[in-house]
Amino acid sequence: MGVTLEVCVDTAEGLAQAVAGGADRIELCAALAVGGLTPSAGLMALAAGCGVPVVAMIRPRAGDFVWSEAEVGMMEAEIASARDAGLAGVVLGASLPDGRLDVPALRRLVAVATARAGSFELVLHRCIDLAPDMLAALEEALALGFHRVLTSGGETTAEAGAARIAALIARAAGRITVMPGSGVNPGNAAMLKGLGINEIHASCSVSTAVSGRVVEMGFAPPVQRQTHADAVRALRKALE
């Protein structure tokens, strides 16, 4: 059985490129430049018909994952929107100021996600990489009902965190999926596959220079990154 390739996108064009390149699943976001925020209702509706499973990032702002009461309420509404759009699941997380998982907040969010009948995937995002004890956080995620954990092993890239990812996979023992992400590319895919993973996460993006009035007026950065079908295919080949 091959490795499931999840590709994160934040635009309609990125979505189309990921599907064309052969992504097995989409993580749908806005603002990937800051790690991904909750996508718009319009992008969710578009993605629901793309032909592959789609999970939506639920993150109301950039920065840390220590949410206020108001922000937890926003996330509850955003989870409901993702279910209403017909998506396959959601990606979320919540932290305490010391980096440990905010279990009470996560319990609330999971309750919204599982309130209706039918399957709906729950993915804990890289807030786990901030946890002082990642193995303990993995057990908490499992107890909360998460199906999958996205992690770079507590480092800035999955390649740098490979040893801890391996430890998480060993602790998971098939009870929950540990999915490496961050800096995944054809050059390190074989090494990461060798950890015994079943799934992997990447943006498969390329840089494009932007110029003109949109940059001058502050509407776009001078360099943008977007998923490209050829990059998806290259990563797929490296995983084979």
Confidence band, pLDDT 50/70/90 cuts, at residue 1: low
User: For residue 185, what pLDDT is reported?
Assistant: 96
Domain boundaries, the chain: 4-239
Q: Does the global pTM surpass 0.85?
A: yes
Pick the CATH number of 4-239 from 3.30.300.10, 3.40.50.970, 3.20.20.380, 1.10.3720.10: 3.20.20.380
Contact 53, 81 (CB under 8 A): no
pLDDT tens digits along 45-84: 999 999 999 999 999 999 999 999 999 999 999 999 999 9
Average pLDDT over residues 198-224: 86
Cα distance from N-terminal residue to C-terminal residue, the chain: 10
pLDDT tens digits along 165-194: 999 999 999 999 999 999 999 999 999 999
Which range scores top for mean pLDDT: 1-5, 20-24, 217-221?
20-24
Sequence-distant (≥ 6) Cβ neighbours of residue 78 within 8 angstroms = 38, 56, 58, 60
